[in-house]
Amino acid sequence: MRVLVIGSGAREHALLLALRRDPQVDWLGVAPGNAGTAAIAEQHDLDITSGAAVVALAQKVEADLVVVGPEVPLVLGVADALRAAGIACFGPSKDAARIEGSKAFAKDVMAAAGVRTAGSEIVDNPGHLDAALDRFGPPAGQAAWVVKDDGLAAGKGVVVTTDRAAARAHAAALLDSGHPVLLESFLDGPEVSLFCVVDGETVVALLPAQDFKRVGDNDTGPNTGGMGAYTPLPWLPAETVTQIVDEIVKPVAAELVSRGSSFSGLLYAGLAITSAGPSVVEFNCRFGDPETQAVLALLESPLGGLLNAAATGTLASFEELRWKDGAAVTVVIAAENYPGRPRTGDVILGAEADGVLHAGTARREDGAVVSTGGRVLSVVGTGTDLDSARAAVYARIGAIKLPGSHFRRDIGLAAAEGRINL
């Protein structure tokens, strides 16, 4: 099977590594890729937001399956263009991708499916903002204000704060830029990311993970696209995962089918495990980064076969997934000033090693690997338990040098110390 992966991040690097382990996969391509993916897949320059360009490349390389990694091309309908050309694609249609592209659409789907989620209100008029803020946040008995960009924001469009002025400033800035604002009630309890491969109403859950959005240790600082993740979750009962699939993911998948927007691809449920049970924070329409790097490190089943089954409508007959024992931890190395405007162009030493996945990197003509973005590398460690996986990942980080870079030192620490309870 010839597989073309679309994207350039650590998520795509992780997908390629897992696909390479599948004996059914005999060729790998990536577009546009990065300095790390170039070592394991044929690399192609490409405008990934152009359906016509993606189709032309897939036809040129004779791809049997195209895996679309990022959300933007999915929201723009690239998967539809591939399917219209008769090319199998792992990734939802433009209609189905609205589950991530529009939080208002996602809320409507959840309401129709009877799925528990935070109370919310869309604000699209600056004149209505103050009254709406008064209905949410600490004055209304909530722990904090939750203010979100209604559209795509690469994980950085969310502010959770007890400071009304900060909440208002974020909301006003979004409205000034023409973006509707979603206000939500605060969901207390530990967060869980659950990836599900979905084919219509067929749902296959992967291992649950937990990611870390704040830039600093102990969840301090602004939100980012994700600074690390670990899997599995020793504090989360297996029956809770079953409950999430049965009471949340399957009803949402069925609701999308009933609307003529059947989902085919990876449906990501971001949840809070509240005192009332699992509640949805958000849905994404693709593999999440950095959770993917940890989850796929433990997958033993053939990834190419799994993704192809979803893309070709045969997921219901795919074998039960197999997983390695133990745990995996991913830690993101970010450039100086991230999540603000990152410093780029610095030479990275030690990046070409096992367990080091590339995101914001490129190779210069002299062969040096340099930084090109905010989240530069994801480093993965595995072990028999969370303690050993954490030790492995931080040992690998110690061998990497990037001027001005930073990373969190507490990824998975609370779970390893037994400090997370339901």
Query: Cα(406)–Cα(274) distance, rounded to whole angstroms?
Result: 32
Q: Give the pLDDT of residue 49.
A: 98
Q: Is 153 inside a domain boundary?
A: yes
Q: Give the pLDDT of residue 395.
A: 98
CATH number, position 151: 3.30.1490.20
Q: Is 145 inside a domain boundary?
A: yes
- Tens-digit pLDDT string for the chain (422 aa): 999 999 999 999 999 999 999 999 999 999 999 999 999 999 999 999 999 999 999 999 999 999 999 999 999 999 999 999 999 999 999 999 999 998 889 999 999 999 998 887 888 888 888 888 888 766 666 667 788 887 665 555 688 888 888 888 888 888 888 888 888 887 888 999 999 999 999 999 999 999 999 999 999 999 899 999 999 999 999 999 999 999 999 999 999 999 999 999 999 999 999 988 999 999 999 999 999 999 999 999 999 999 999 999 999 999 999 999 999 999 999 999 999 999 999 999 999 999 999 999 999 999 999 999 999 999 999 999 999 999 999 999 999 999 999 999 999 999 999 999 88
Domain span at 176: 119-184
Provide the domain count of the chain. Answer: 2
The angle formed by the CA atoms of residues 153, 148 and 128, to the nearest 5 degrees, is 130
Residues 89 and 6 both lie in one domain: yes
Query: Cα(120)–Cα(394) distance, rounded to whole angstroms?
Result: 39
**Are 155 and 287 a contacting pair, CB within 8 Å?**
no
Q: Is 179 inside a domain boundary?
A: yes
Residues 8 and 71 both lie in one domain: yes
Residues 88 and 124 both lie in one domain: no
Q: Residue 337: helix, strand or coil by DSSP?
A: coil
Query: Cα(25)–Cα(167) distance, rounded to whole angstroms?
Result: 48
β-bridge mates for residue 279, sequence order:
272
Residues 28 and 89 both lie in one domain: yes
Q: Is 45 inside a domain boundary?
A: yes
How many CB atoms are located within 10 Å of the residue 178 CB? 8
Residue with tokens 């970010």: 334
Q: Considering the entire predicted model, what is its pTM?
A: 0.91
Query: Cα(63)–Cα(119) distance, rounded to whole angstroms?
Result: 44
**DSSP 8-state symbol, 401:** B
Q: Is 86 inside a domain boundary?
A: yes
Closest-CA residue to 293 (of 171, 184, 195, 419): 195
Q: Is 25 inside a domain boundary?
A: yes
β-bridge mates for residue 191, sequence order:
272
Q: What tokens appear for 300 in the block? A: 């033993």
Q: Is 87 inside a domain boundary?
A: yes
Residues 65 and 141 both lie in one domain: no
Q: Give the pLDDT of residue 142.
A: 65
CATH number, position 60: 3.40.50.20
Residues 79 and 126 both lie in one domain: no
Domain-terminating residue out of 157, 184, 211: 184
Q: Give the pLDDT of residue 154.
A: 57
